[in-house]
Amino acid sequence: MTQIFAHRGYSASFAENTMGSFIAAEKAGADGIELDVQLSKDGEVVVIHDEKVDRTTSGNGFVKDFLFKDIRKLNANKKGIRKEPIPALEEVLEWLKTNKLICNIEFKNGLIPYEGMEDKVVNLVQKYNLSNRIIFSSFNHYSIVYSYRIAPEIQTAPLFIESIYMPWVYSQSIRAKGIHPRHSTLPDEIIKTTMENGIAVRPYTVNKDAHMRRFFQIDCTAIITDDPVKALNLRKLYQKG
Ligand code: G3P
Ligand code: CA
């Protein structure tokens, strides 16, 4: 059955990359969550998508220029009633110990090369003994190859915006167990062949009914979606058992 990963949590209805959004995804019945990580000025792994805090919080400026104690004061739930801080990755991992969700951690280090971020994330995942429920992804493929070198027990999956030739060959060459392509990138035949070669395929960000139906009908490994509730309803319709 196709797994449903809640993109930045249940971000269609809750503030993205917040504990509220992750908890809502779990309550909805998602199989997993996806989240983005970066480093604060003092080296704390924080969960936020953009390099700057401006779009998603009450503050302004680069994540890398905030001390953790200061970034925690910002409100990451600007449109909501209840104030929510930017989570530390550690807080999310602690909460993951209370449930069975899979967690896809995306290293957001394409623009800012946060030194030592992979090591810090690996140490946290190992501290909480969650290696078998974590998937590392990134558009920065050097980063996931590095994470594989230091922690081969934790699965990796390169992110793609554009199509690549024989993605299963590429994945195997970097020891990745999966690929996370943009949903419109790969035709069904390539997705199927990739899966037949033992490589998981988890397209992002699958929000439209027709796109969800397409991936359910080909029994894709997983979809990454903002709306896990819609996906769960459609999965019931298109996949039995
Ligand atoms: O991991 C899939 C997706 O999250 C990658 O794009 O920009 O939403 O982080 P973005
Ligand atoms: Ca992401």
Q: What is the pLDDT of residue 240?
A: 75
In this structure, which residue's CA is closest to atom 10 in ligand 1? Answer: 49
pLDDT, position 33: 98
224, 200 in Cβ contact below 8 A? no
- Are the C-beta atoms of 142 and 136 separated by less than 8 Å? no
156: which strand partners? 136
pTM above 0.85, yes or no: yes
Residue labelled with tokens 């999966």? 178
How many residues can be counted in the chain?
241
Average confidence (pLDDT) per 10 residues, the chain, 241 residues: 98 98 98 98 98 98 98 96 96 98 98 97 98 98 98 98 96 98 96 98 98 97 98 94 66
Confidence at residue 241, expressed as pLDDT on a 0 to 100 scale: 66
Query: Which residues have their alpha-adjacent CB atom under 5 A from ion ligand 2?
Result: 36, 106
Atom of ligand 1 minimally distant from the CA of 8: 4
SS3 sequence of 109-137: CCCCCCCCHHHHHHHHHHHCCCHHHEEEE
49 is catalytic: yes
Rounded to whole angstroms, the Cα distance separating 10 from 21 reads 5
